[in-house]
Structure 1
Amino acid sequence: MSSTANVPEKGTPLSTPANLLTDVPLPAAAIFEAPLAHNLAWMQRFADDHGAKLAPHGKTTMAPKLFKRQIEAGAWGITLATAVQTVAAHAHGVDRVLMVNQLVGRPNMALIADAIAAGLEYYCVIDGIENVRDLGAFFAARGLTLHVLIELGIDGGRCGCRTASQVDALVAAIAEQPALALVGIEGYEGMIGGGDEVAAVRAYGERLVDTVRTLQASGLLKRQAPIVTASGSKWFDLIAEAFDLAELREHYTPVLRPGCYVVHDHKLYAGAMDQIKARDPNLEGALQPALEVFAHVQSLPEPGLAIIALGKRDIGHEPDLPLPLRLYPASATSGAASSAPVAAVDVSAWRTTHIMDQHVFLQIPENAEIAVGDVIAFGTSHPCLTFDKWRRMLLVDDTLDVRDVLETHF
């Protein structure tokens, strides 16, 4: 009889205590404690300074231990995208969820109804009258109230009302459903592009604020401090700027929702951070990359080419291919104990040219000092699509000692 009890999960230690280079079958995904702690504090302070609540988008990590740390750092709640994500987070102690997606389909509604009945403070967004009717009937039958926010979209974007008349029609439809409580306005600015993007994002932020003010004045909102929320991980400063008004601080609940900040990245959002700093030179500090994926050099088949035991199953590759950062010589994996950071070689000038399911093609100098068995740490551009490739990720310190194992629940 076969058993899976002793089948190892990829990237997890063979023993405890463990060091990433000596005790973990690679590839492995690692989050460095120092930049992680820095990012948690930095973004919470940023939101606080702008009079906003922080509800980090949990779909980035789906790691309950990181949710817990975000909430302990001061987060108002966790943003999520699906009913299943919501239930997973609630099962691991998250008590307030902002689901910035339409709740569609009776099985999904049933999951959320059960969670609400079990004490979850839950909000979802809505942009269509048919969805209003379906939700109203379902939650009325369950004897529950569902808190909803109207989603404001942009032309050519994804979900959301495009016009004021659509908003008015939706407000009227919600008012006809006793089981639905309209509590605010939600939007997403991340798809705004072309022309002057900065001006367009600022205008969108103002539109969100104007809309929630109009609805509040009409007496149609069912929350004393209505929610107005937006902000992905690229333009959070501009949305915070739009929300940073005395009136909103005092009478509304402005909520920012960046998710990738928790581990940041080495290119896409690193570039966005540079732009944020350029827009506000007085902004203190910056986010720091915390996520890396470690893998062995497995073949050196021809001059100028290294094949790495890493692939699409292990690391995100959109919008950019994995970024080589450092090389650890095979001697560093010998198992010798050390209390100092392992000496590594900067290989950021090397270039990934191709990625397959289990292989990365790395262009290297023909005279590069590299051997089979060496370990290379790779950075990512956009961290979300790396997290969902791992059931367990390692929290490590500067010496690459494993401090914790973080489970994900996608």
Structure 2
Amino acid sequence: MRDNSAWMKSFLADAGAILSPHGKTTMCPALFDLQLADGAWAITVSTLHQIQIARSFGVKRIFLANQLIGRQAIDYVMGELAADSSFEFLFLADSQENIRTIADAARKAGSKRPLHVLVELGYAGGRTGCRGLDEAVELARCIERTDGVLALRGIEGFEGLLKGADNRATLKLVENFVGQMVSLARLCDAENLFAAEPIILSAGGSAFYDVVVEGLGAAALSRPSMVLVRSGCYITHDSVLYAKAVDALRERNPGLASSRGGLTPALEVWAYVQSRPEEEKLIAGLGKRDVSYDDQPVALTWFRPGGGMESPQRLSPDHTVTRLNDQHCHMTIPAGSPLRVGDMIGFGISHPCLTFDKWRVMHVVDESYQVVSSVRTYF
């Protein structure tokens, strides 16, 4: 984890960008502390619960990468801003109606300082965000018409769901979308709609660190700006989903992918062999309640407790996961595999966000798999 954190810190320093890692990935304040200590500008969240957890552990700057919706959420944020002058809060908007609702609530609460908001740009078939530059500029004008109750702080977009036929096609889609974000920022800049600086230009960046930073960094606005990426998964990386993203990064930017040794999978889930009912079939005690299942986990290593092994040994690639039940893992293994009931298997996972949320306590181990500390999650 520390190597991954150092990799991100080095990349951002070279690129002249900043990081607000997505806290939803881990919901682990101990890891928030590591990320903030390594220079993270803020912690990103998605929900009211996540805002509350971050605040309860003393996070001073929160980026809500979502719309601020609902009376309870709006009231909570207003209360925190009123109670703590050092607390900074930023959120997204793609709806004029929502902007008017929030502005009305701020006026009723007697808010003493403006709420900082970023206009979110989306794309057809995507998730949230304005569907076009005209709609987004009009929303920025709507924010300005709140007469200082809300302040337009920047432009945001999420490129993570764009998917082409291959890596090259996906890259083109991402480059075009980032270009649209820059166009929106320039249009708002030309109308002097930004109410504070530095102007924030923010995208997800988890799979396209270099593309996002380079594209948004070329905006050349009339006022100071900064590029903010929000990756949360880099801290543990993974063995499938983001490993593939790094493979794509290696194709287009091999120097960055290999710098400082690159990102390393740092999250494993271990399970006992429960049964070997057939020569080439094995059942391990791990399932959908234990790991993410966007993709099947990958069997990496094995260990035999009390068997005289000094450390876990690598498993050959022909030990494959074929199916997960709630808490059973079906594997196909070679007939000559050494695995037997009672052995342990270390699995690499795909998509850290959906593995962290399965566990309330996770253990940090050294290279010898000795537990050196434990961390708690707050989902």
Which residue does the alignment assign to 2:284?
A: 308
Which residue does the alignment assign to 1:157?
A: 126
Higher relative contact order (CA 8 A, sep 6+): 1
How far apart, CA to CA, are the structure 1 residues paired with 2:223 and 2:283?
57
Q: After superposition, where does 1:197-208 map in structure 2 within 5 Å?
A: 197-208=170-181
Percent of residue pairs bearing the same amino acid type: 40
| Of 352-361 and 116-125, the range deviating more from structure 2 | 116-125
How far apart, CA to CA, are the structure 1 residues paired with 2:266 and 2:32?
16
Deviation at 1:117, TM superposition (A): 2.4
Deviation at 1:348, TM superposition (A): 3.5
Amino acid at match of 1:65: A
Deviation at 1:245, TM superposition (A): 3.4
Cα 1:158–1:345, aligned 2, differ >3 Å: closer, same or farther? closer
Gaps of 5+ in 1: 1-35
How far apart, CA to CA, are the structure 2 residues paired with 1:304 and 1:194?
37
Cα 1:244–1:181, aligned 2, differ >3 Å: closer, same or farther? closer
Which residue does the alignment assign to 2:100?
A: 133
Deviation at 1:146, TM superposition (A): 1.5
Deviation at 1:216, TM superposition (A): 2.2
Amino acid at match of 1:298: Q
CA RMSD in angstroms, aligned pairs only: 1.8
Amino acid at match of 1:142: A
How far apart, CA to CA, are the structure 1 residues paired with 2:54 and 2:222?
28
Amino acid at match of 1:243: L
Which residue does the alignment assign to 1:323?
A: 298
Which residue does the alignment assign to 1:386?
A: 355
In the alignment, structure 1 residue 43 sits paired with structure 2 residue 8: yes
Gaps of 5+ in 2: none
How far apart, CA to CA, are the structure 1 residues paired with 2:182 and 2:81?
28
How far apart, CA to CA, are the structure 2 residues paired with 1:90 and 1:216?
32
In the alignment, structure 1 residue 251 sits paired with structure 2 residue 220: no
Which residue does the alignment assign to 2:80?
A: 115
How far apart, CA to CA, are the structure 2 residues paired with 1:159 and 1:197?
19
Amino acid at match of 2:305: A
Which residue does the alignment assign to 1:26?
A: none
SS at match of 1:330: coil
How far apart, CA to CA, are the structure 1 residues paired with 2:190 and 2:222?
17
Which residue does the alignment assign to 1:57?
A: 22
How far apart, CA to CA, are the structure 2 residues paired with 1:57 and 1:249?
29
Contact 2:18 2:229 in 1 (8 A): yes
How far apart, CA to CA, are the structure 1 residues paired with 2:222 and 2:48?
30
Amino acid at match of 2:267: L
From 367, 376, 379, the equivalent of 1:407 is 376
Cα 1:246–1:187, aligned 2, differ >3 Å: closer, same or farther? closer
Which residue does the alignment assign to 2:160?
A: 190
Superimposed CA distance per residue, residues 250-287 of structure 1 (whole angstroms, 9 cap, x where no aligned partner): 81021011111110011111111121122112222311
Q: After superposition, where does 1:143-154 map in structure 2 within 5 Å?
A: 143-144=110-111, 145-154=114-123
Cα 1:171–1:307, aligned 2, differ >3 Å: closer, same or farther? same
| Of 390-399 and 134-143, the range deviating more from structure 2 | 134-143
In the alignment, structure 1 residue 212 sits paired with structure 2 residue 185: yes
Amino acid at match of 2:340: A
Superimposed CA distance per residue, residues 312-366 of structure 1 (whole angstroms, 9 cap, x where no aligned partner): 1111111x1111111101325x8x9xxxx61424243211111111111111112
Contact 1:352 1:361 in 2 (8 A): yes
How far apart, CA to CA, are the structure 1 residues paired with 2:82 and 2:277?
60
In the alignment, structure 1 residue 289 sits paired with structure 2 residue 265: yes
Amino acid at match of 1:85: Q
In the alignment, structure 1 residue 376 sits paired with structure 2 residue 352: no
Which residue does the alignment assign to 1:11?
A: none
Deviation at 1:394, TM superposition (A): 0.7
Deviation at 1:212, TM superposition (A): 1.5
Amino acid at match of 2:192: G
Superimposed CA distance per residue, residues 364-409 of structure 1 (whole angstroms, 9 cap, x where no aligned partner): 1122212211100000111111000011111110111111111111
From 136, 139, 142, the equivalent of 1:173 is 142
| Of 128-137 and 193-202, the range deviating more from structure 2 | 193-202
Superimposed CA distance per residue, residues 54-111 of structure 1 (whole angstroms, 9 cap, x where no aligned partner): 1111111111011110010111111111121011012112111111100111011122
How far apart, CA to CA, are the structure 2 residues paired with 1:280 and 1:194?
19
In the alignment, structure 1 residue 365 sits paired with structure 2 residue 334: yes
Which residue does the alignment assign to 1:79?
A: 44
Contact 1:327 1:347 in 2 (8 A): no
* TM-score, normalisation: structure 1: 0.86
Contact 1:87 1:112 in 2 (8 A): no
Give aligned pairs, total.
Answer: 368
* TM-score, normalisation: structure 2: 0.93
How far apart, CA to CA, are the structure 2 residues paired with 1:79 and 1:260?
12
How far apart, CA to CA, are the structure 1 residues paired with 2:314 and 2:212?
40
Amino acid at match of 1:303: E
Superimposed CA distance per residue, residues 90-149 of structure 1 (whole angstroms, 9 cap, x where no aligned partner): 211211111110011101112222222233211000001111111111122112232110
Contact 1:232 1:259 in 2 (8 A): no
Deviation at 1:215, TM superposition (A): 1.3
Superimposed CA distance per residue, residues 157-208 of structure 1 (whole angstroms, 9 cap, x where no aligned partner): 0110111221132123222324211111110011212252212211211221
Cα 1:377–1:64, aligned 2, differ >3 Å: closer, same or farther? same
Contact 1:328 1:345 in 2 (8 A): no
In the alignment, structure 1 residue 228 sits paired with structure 2 residue 201: yes
Contact 2:301 2:312 in 1 (8 A): no
